[in-house]
Amino acid sequence: MIKKTLDEKAFQLLKEKMDKGLFPQWVLTDPDIYELEKENIFGRTWQFLAHESELKEPGDYVTRWMVNDPVIVSKNREGEIKAFLNSCSHRGVHLCTADRGNKKTFTCPYHGWSYNLEGELIGIVAGNKVYGGEMDKGDWGLREIPQIASYQGMIFGNLDKDAISLEDYLGEMKWYLDLMLGRSDGGMEVRGLPQRWVAKANWKATAENFAADPYHVQTTHRSTVEMGISPEDPLYAGYGHQVVMENGHGINVITSKTGKARVPFQATPESMWPMFEKNLTPEQLDIQSRVTVFVGGMYPNLSFVSPIHGTEGHLHNYLNFRLWRPIGPDKVEVWCWFMIDKSAPEEYKEAAYRGYLGSFGPTGTLEVDDTENWARIVEVSSGLMARDKHLNYNSINNYLMGFERVEPDSNFQGPGTAYPTTYIDAIARSMHEQWFKLISEGVMMKEEIV
Ligand code: FES
Ligand SMILES: [Fe+2]
């Protein structure tokens, strides 16, 4: 097997820039860097696969991707979640191409081998005549994804059997996931299928846009101000805290200028508030009562946004998870899940879903604005002059807009390092540091045979 690593010279050049907080633009679209990322980042970090509410009954399955590895995620008869490489053991055919369904067996369209919900090979067409009694079916089951685990209903997989546990990987982020996913009785549920589309973009830029960059909101999404959906104040998305956590995770807790609630409990129905009081700690409850938007991400490529959406009198809150599946250095397949409290009133869920479609769905106003910028980044990043051009992470030493030094706020109630503004590059820098750490681990030769 060829193990890809960064060569020593490239490592030194990159390190020099990264140490100064500069991010070279060429790495956004470089094909060699992309190959390294596939192996060193996506080959050993936890990738989101599905939410448990997508797999209700035994036999329910969904098909997903871990970058280039197709995956079947299914529920077996005992109610356990399993994840297999979606590739037949005989000639490797992509076994199941439906988005989701319910099955007892998966049958290959090529020669008809079939597998049960445990991934075991159970049927071979004309088996005895073709293979005689020699073949041990037990050797030819589907390959299991080396590790799968769930947290708050979110199912993740890891292609590295030696990777740290999901809980350790999420670390401090669990506190915020408990808040967003565990606030109401029954937790969150996915409504409909995840929508997906291909965007001209690099996964690092899309992940950073969501997890680390409320600063873009007032310009990119200016039209929402003009429509009266967002406030006029250009700092409106900057109030609150940006919280940096280990392993490249981060969250922005956006509030109002005064820190008080613009609308209590993110415009959820009042009937749900007692559940929040019951399920959350006092610190989590306080944040939930005042927050306008949670937006953040789990490194490397899962982001989320939980906004208040709509106009006065018709406000709703929902939770949108999105996975940036890289399908090339300059393309991502966006997977977009709409989630809502299972215990919310049905009419509220429906209205929130419509609000989501008009905002962060594939044709939503906010989504379209962002997509345009991501395409513009990749269009210009592989030019010759981009080779020694570096991107501006304005607050390299935590300077806000280059002037005022911002210290962490020790009074913030949640875990992580919290800065008292979200117009800061603290999460972006931490994501890039994590990126560099992962791609450069094991720097040796460009290609090492192992
Ligand atoms: S490739 Fe699947 S049965 Fe032959
Ligand atoms: Fe945006």
What residues contact residue 133 under an 8 Å CB cut-off, 6+ apart? none
Amino acid at 298: M
Tokens in use for 390? Answer: 């570096």
Positive or negative, the Cα torsion across 319, 178, 69, 136?
negative
DSSP codes of every residue in 322-375: EEEEEEETTEEEEEEEEEEETTS-HHHHHHHHHHHHHHTSTTSHHHHHHHHHHH
Q: Please give the C-alpha separations between residue 33 and each of 27, 205, 332, in angstroms, as whole numbers.
A: 6, 14, 15
Is ligand 1 within 6 A of the CB of residue 108? yes
Place of tokens 């293979």: 131
Q: What angle do CA 4, 7, 1 make, to 5 degrees?
A: 20
What's the pLDDT score for residue 349? 96
For residue 111, which atom of ligand 1 is closest to its CA?
3
What residues contact residue 384 under an 8 Å CB cut-off, 6+ apart? none
For residue 92, which atom of ligand 1 is closest to its CA?
1
| Closest C-alpha residue for ligand 1 atom 4 | 111
Residue whose CB lies within 8 A of the most ligand 1 atoms, among 106, 110, 121, for a mutation test:
110
Burial of 29 by CB count in 10 Å (0-12 exposed, 13-18 middle, 19+ buried)?
A: buried
Considering every ligand atom shown, identify the ligand nearest to the alpha carbon of residue 209 and give its number. 2
What's the pLDDT score for residue 404? 57
Query: Could you give the residue numbers annotated as active site?
Result: 111, 213, 216, 221, 370
Place of tokens 């199912």: 155
Strands 60-66, 2-4: pairing kind:
unpaired
146 Cα–ligand 2 center, Å: 35
Residues 26, 417: Cα–Cα separation, whole Å: 30
Residue 271 near residue 344, CB atoms below 8 Å:
no
Strands 250-254, 293-298: pairing kind:
antiparallel
Residue 24 near residue 17, CB atoms below 8 Å:
yes
Report the chain's mean pLDDT, rounded to a whole number.
91
What's the pLDDT score for residue 450? 44
Q: Please give the C-alpha separations between residue 275 and each of 52, 179, 187, 266, in angstroms, as whole numbers.
A: 21, 12, 10, 14
94 Cα–ligand 1 center, Å: 9
What's the pLDDT score for residue 317? 96
Considering every ligand atom shown, identify the ligand nearest to the alpha carbon of residue 368 and give its number. 2
What residues contact residue 110 under an 8 Å CB cut-off, 6+ apart? 88, 90, 91, 93
Is ligand 1 within 6 A of the CB of residue 91? yes
Mean pLDDT by runs of 10 across the 450 residues of the chain is 70 82 89 93 97 98 98 97 98 97 97 97 89 86 98 98 97 98 97 94 97 92 82 89 97 92 92 98 98 97 94 89 97 97 96 88 80 93 88 58 70 96 91 92 53
Place of tokens 């970090």: 45
DSSP one-letter code for 431: H
What's the pLDDT score for residue 15? 86
Is ligand 1 within 6 A of the CB of residue 110? yes
Is ligand 1 within 6 A of the CB of residue 115? no
Residue 231: CB atoms within 10 A of its CB come to 16
Helix/strand/coil for 257: coil
Domains of the chain: 47-151 (2.102.10.10), 171-438 (3.90.380.10)
158 Cα–ligand 1 center, Å: 26
Amino acid at 447: E
What's the pLDDT score for residue 225? 84
Strand partners, 297: 250, 303
Total residue length of the chain: 450
